[in-house]
Amino acid sequence: MTDDCIFCKIVAGEIPAEIVHESDTTVAFRDMSPQAPTHVLVIPRSHYPNAAALAAGEPATAAHLFDAARAIAEQAGLDKGYRLVLNTGEDAHQTVFHVHMHLLGGRPMGWPPG
């Protein structure tokens, strides 16, 4: 737990979020600014600033993020596909420095991303 981290506070239940999935190592909740009909953030309970730090420090939990995303996509019926995004660093538009996987689905998406 890092005191000034908003996502640590969601994990701790100190600020509200619409939680859609939980495991021993992960929590998933709806993004407050959805960019698609389904837009969920999947995060580790432990605080790591970005995907690279998580992969180095807790690789099993990095894999758990993908498994949670699979379960959420199945539950949401995203049979036609979905996108997983891990913005890493300033140039990639990371704004919250507790690693989070965006799960976006429910509409067709373009490429390349903006």
Task: Kindly list the catalytic residues.
Answer: 100
Question: Closer CB to ligand DGP, residue 32 or residue 60?
Answer: 32
Shortest Cβ 23–ligand DGP spacing (Å)? 18
CA distances from 98 to 6, 75, 77, 110, 112 (A): 8, 25, 27, 27, 25
Q: Does 6 bind ligand DGP (CB under 6 A)?
A: yes
Q: How far is the C-alpha of 91 from the C-alpha of 111, rounded, in Å?
A: 18
Query: What's the one-letter identity of residue 5?
Result: C
- The region of 30-38, 55-63, 67-75, 105-113 touching ligand DGP under the rule CB under 6 A is 30-38
**Rounded (10°) CA dihedral 10, 19, 36, 96:** 10
Shortest Cβ 15–ligand DGP spacing (Å)? 6
User: Residue 4: is it exposed, middle or buried by C-beta count within 10 angstroms (0-12/13-18/19+)?
Assistant: exposed
Q: Does 93 bind ligand DGP (CB under 6 A)?
A: yes
Residue of 65, 87, 99, 101 that binds ligand DGP (CB under 6 A)? 87
- The region of 27-35, 51-59, 69-77, 106-114 touching ligand DGP under the rule CB under 6 A is 27-35
